[in-house]
Structure 1
Amino acid sequence: MYRAEKRGGINGLVVSHSAVDMFSMTIIENSRHRDGSIYRNKAFEGHFCITNRDETRLEPMMFSEPTDCRPSWETCSMHSACAMMQIFSLKLAKIPIDNDCIQLYGYIAVRDDLDKLLNYVVNYSRDNPIIMQQGDLIEMTGPKRGISMCCSVLLEFDMRIKKGEQERDDLQLIDGAIDYIGLITATFPFTKRINGDCGAVDITLARVYWAVEATIQVIISDVQSGFNLYLSSLCFVSDVWKEIQLFNGPIGESCGLRRYVVAVSLDTWMHLKLKVGQKGSNHYVERYCSFKAINHGCSSQQILGELASISMKVTWSTLLD
C-alpha cells in the first residue's frame, strides 16, 4: 500500500491498491433467491425480514442552510459520526469462457440495522441490462444512503446473464447472501471474490471508522460540444487513499448526474477527481476539487472549462440524526 498524509494536498497523491485475498466469500447456506431457499431459511428470522422486498425509505439527512434562529449544522455536537460500510468497487471477475461480452442484469443490495430494508448498490432490470466484458467494473447505481455498520450488514445478490428471449434461458452469475459482522470487518480496503454458478464478482469494501455521509450532486451546464467525463471520489481510509468510480461516460447536453452517497471519515478530506476529454480524443484534462468532512453542512465548487461548466455540491450528514 502507498501512504499519504491525512490532510495533504493533491500533488503527489498516490491511490493505494486494495489488499487482495482471492479466497471466496462464504455464502450463507440455503440463501438462494431463485429456488426460494432464502425465504424459508429460519436463520434470518428475528433480525432481517428477508420476505420484505421493499427498498429503504430513508434518505441522506440533507439539511437546509442555517437561519438566525437555528444554529449552523457545522457546529452541531448532538449528532456524531459512526461506523459505516463503504463498497469501493464491484468487478466482473469471471464469465463463461465462450462469451466475449455479456448482458448482465439483477441486483446487489445491503440491509443494515437502520430499517433492515433493501439499500440497492446495483440494480438493473432484464429489459435494461448492461453490456460487459470480463474484468470490467460493474457501475454502481447506489447506495441510496449511507450503510450503517454499528451491527451486522447483510449483502444480498441475484445477478444473471441474459441469454435469450425467455428468462428461463438465462445463466445465473451469483445468487445468495453474505453476512458482514461489524466489529470484525476490516477497517482497511480489502477484496474478496463471490463465486457463482456461471462466473464470479470481486467486491472491494471496508468498514470506515467514525464516518459521515457525503452526498455528491453534480450539475453540468453550458455544454459547448459532446465530451467524455470520468468522475471519482478519493477518500482517506486507514492511512491510504482509495478511489471510488462514480461516473464514466459521454455527456451530450446540459444535465444533472445521479446523486452519489459516499462514507468519509470525519475531519478528513475527500477529493473529487474529474477527467474531461473530447469525443474521439485520448487527451484528457484532469482536475480535482477538495471537501473536508464535517458533521453537517454543505459546500460547492465550480469548474469552468472550454467544453462545459461543472458544478459540484457536497452535503454532509450523519446516519444517527
Structure 2
Amino acid sequence: MMPPIPPVNRVFRLPRGPQNMATATAISRAEGDEFGKPCRQVPISSANAISLPLDNIEKRDAILDVIAGDDTTDKDACWGQTTKHAGSDGDERRATKDHREIVVSDDEEHTVDKNILEDSRHCDGSMYRGMDVWWKQVYRIVDRNETRLQAMALSDPMDCFIHDGICVQHKPRCMLQIFSLELAKIPVDGGFVELYGYIAVRDELDPLLNFIINISRDEPIIVEQGSLIDMVGPKRGIEMMDQALIEYDVRIKAGELEKDDLQLIDGASTIGPAVDWNCPLKFQIASDSGAVGLTLSYLHAAVEATVEVLILDARSSFNLSLGCLTSGLNNEIRLFEGAIAESCFLKRSVVAVLKDSLIVLKLKLGSLLSSSDQHCCSFKSKAHGHDIQEIKTDFALFSVKVTWSTLPEAMDLWQQ
C-alpha cells in the first residue's frame, strides 16, 4: 500500500487542452521556447518584507558519505555502473540488473531502460525490506516524513565573511533543477485520466522526502497523455554534490476502491552527475504500465531563489499564467496557471539559479473579454538577502519577492 500522503493545499485551475508535447522516450538536450513578446522591465521597489524564519531541525545522524566512481571507458556507457561506497567495510555498490543511470552523449541520443531500482516497490512492500541495501540506508527509506529543512535557511546568516562586497563564507552549491513533469505514457487508450500519488527527491543534505508532486486520491488531477503535470515543489533547493534519489508512487484512479486503480509508476531511481552541467536533459521514469518524463538540469554553482507573488488590488477576475526562466536556459518552469478572482498570495516556489545569473518571471494575464497581456521582471542571483519588484497591470498590482539563500552544509545541520 502507498504510504499516507500529507494533505496539500489546492488551487483552482482552468481546464487545459492538449499540450502536444513529444513523449520523452530518451535522454537528450531539451530545447525550450523563446521568450516571445519583449518584456517590459519594471523598477525595483523600496518596500521591505519579512522573511520566514528557519524551522528548528532535529539533531540527526551523519549521512553516509557516498563517493561516485566510474570504471567504464566507453563514453556511451552508463554512469554509475560500478561505484564505491565509503562505508566502514568498503563494499562496492552496483546498479541492479534492471536499472540504468542517466546517460548523456554529445553526439547522439540514448534510450533509458527500465530505470527502477530492484526491490523498490511500494505495492508489494519490497521498498521496506532488505534495509542493508546501500541506497535504503543512505536515503533513510524507512523514514516517511517530509524534509525538515526549509527554504531560505541562509537568507540572513550571522556568520558571513565579506571580501570585496562578496560573502566567501557561504558558497554556491551543485544543485538539481526540475523544469517540468510530463505524463508521457498511460496504460489506457487516449482521453483524460484522474492522476494521484507522489514524486519526491531525497538528497544527501537531508534525505527525507522533498515532494515535487503530492496529490491525494480524494482530489486527483485530470490530465491526458502528453500533457504537463503541475508541480507543487520542491519545498527547498535540491543538493546535487554527488547524486540523488527520486522516489515515486503514481496511480490512475479507475474505480470506487483503491484496489481497482491502475499503477503508473512505482519505485525509486538514482540519478547522478551527467557529462554536461548547466544543460537541460530529458529523463524518463518508465514501467510496463506507463511513464512520466522529467526535464531537469544539474547546475554546477547555484543558489536557492524562493519566489513569492502577492496579488494586490485585483480589479476584476482574470486568468494568470506565471512562468519562470532560470540561468539563461530556455526551458520554462510553470509556477502557476489558473483563475484569479480577488487579491491573494500565490504558492511559494523554489528555483535554483546559477551564480551571477538571472531568474526571469513571466506573467501572462487575460480575460474572456481581452487579449493576453505579458509582463516580465528579472532578478540577478546573489548569496543572501531579498529583492522586491512591483508590476502594475490593468488587472491588478503584483508584488514579486525573491529571497536568496545558499544551501547549508550538512555539518551545520548535524550540529543543530
Give the TM bin, normalised by the shorter chain.
0.7 to 0.9
Deviations 1:191-223 (A, max 9, x none): 122112432111111111100000000001211
What secondary structure, in the 3-state scheme, does the structure 1 residue paired with 2:342 have?
coil
Deviations 1:11-45 (A, max 9, x none): 59xxxxxx976534621112111111121143234
Aligned to 1:76: 167
Shift of the alpha carbon at 1:76? 2.4
Answer whether contact 2:162 2:168 (CA < 8 A) is retained.
no
Shift of the alpha carbon at 1:142? 0.3
What secondary structure, in the 3-state scheme, does the structure 2 residue paired with 1:241 have?
coil
Aligned to 1:108: 199
* Closer/same/farther in 2, CA of residues 64 and 317 from structure 1, 3 Å limit: closer
Deviations 1:65-87 (A, max 9, x none): 799xx999984221000100000
Task: Give the structure-2-normalised TM-score.
Answer: 0.68
Distance 1:319 1:180 in 2: 20
* Closer/same/farther in 2, CA of residues 311 and 25 from structure 1, 3 Å limit: farther
Distance 2:141 2:170 in 1: 30
Distance 1:201 1:45 in 2: 23
The residue correspondences of 1:240-259 to structure 2 (distance < 5 A) are 240-259=329-348
Look up the equivalent residue of 1:306 and give its one-letter code: D
Distance 2:117 2:276 in 1: 17
Distance 1:64 1:262 in 2: 14
Of 32, 42, 53, 2:121 maps to: 32
Aligned to 1:91: 182
What secondary structure, in the 3-state scheme, does the structure 2 residue paired with 1:46 have?
helix
Structure 1 residue 299 corresponds to structure 2 residue 387: yes
Aligned to 2:350: 261
Deviations 1:253-308 (A, max 9, x none): 11101110000001001110110011x25721111101000011110111111111
* Closer/same/farther in 2, CA of residues 108 and 65 from structure 1, 3 Å limit: closer
Of 122, 139, 153, 2:213 maps to: 122
Shift of the alpha carbon at 1:48? 1.8
Look up the equivalent residue of 2:362 and give its one-letter code: K
Of 40, 43, 56, 2:147 maps to: 56
Look up the equivalent residue of 2:355 and give its one-letter code: L
Task: Give the structure-1-normalised TM-score.
Answer: 0.87
Aligned to 1:152: 243
Distance 1:296 1:137 in 2: 32
Of 226, 244, 248, 2:317 maps to: 226
Aligned to 2:234: 143
Answer whether contact 1:108 1:159 (CA < 8 A) is retained.
yes
Aligned to 2:69: none
Answer whether contact 1:149 1:207 (CA < 8 A) is retained.
yes
Shift of the alpha carbon at 1:2? 10
Distance 1:95 1:282 in 2: 36
What secondary structure, in the 3-state scheme, does the structure 2 residue paired with 1:288 have?
strand
Q: State the structure with more CA Rg.
A: 2
Q: CA RMSD in A?
A: 2.7
Structure with a larger share of its residues in strand: 1
What secondary structure, in the 3-state scheme, does the structure 2 residue paired with 1:168 have?
helix
Of 23, 29, 33, 2:112 maps to: 23
* Closer/same/farther in 2, CA of residues 183 and 98 from structure 1, 3 Å limit: closer
Distance 1:301 1:37 in 2: 49
Q: Mean Cα displacement is larger for which, 20-29 or 193-202?
A: 20-29
Q: Mean Cα displacement is larger for which, 254-263 or 189-198?
A: 189-198
Structure 1 residue 283 corresponds to structure 2 residue 283: no
* Closer/same/farther in 2, CA of residues 177 and 142 from structure 1, 3 Å limit: same
Structure 2 unmatched ranges of 5 or more: 1-28, 32-36, 40-107, 410-416
* Closer/same/farther in 2, CA of residues 95 and 2 from structure 1, 3 Å limit: closer
Answer whether contact 2:155 2:383 (CA < 8 A) is retained.
no
Answer whether contact 1:24 1:192 (CA < 8 A) is retained.
no
Q: How much identity, in percent, do the aligned residues show? A: 47
Distance 2:351 2:376 in 1: 17
What secondary structure, in the 3-state scheme, does the structure 2 residue paired with 1:210 have?
strand
Answer whether contact 1:21 1:191 (CA < 8 A) is retained.
no
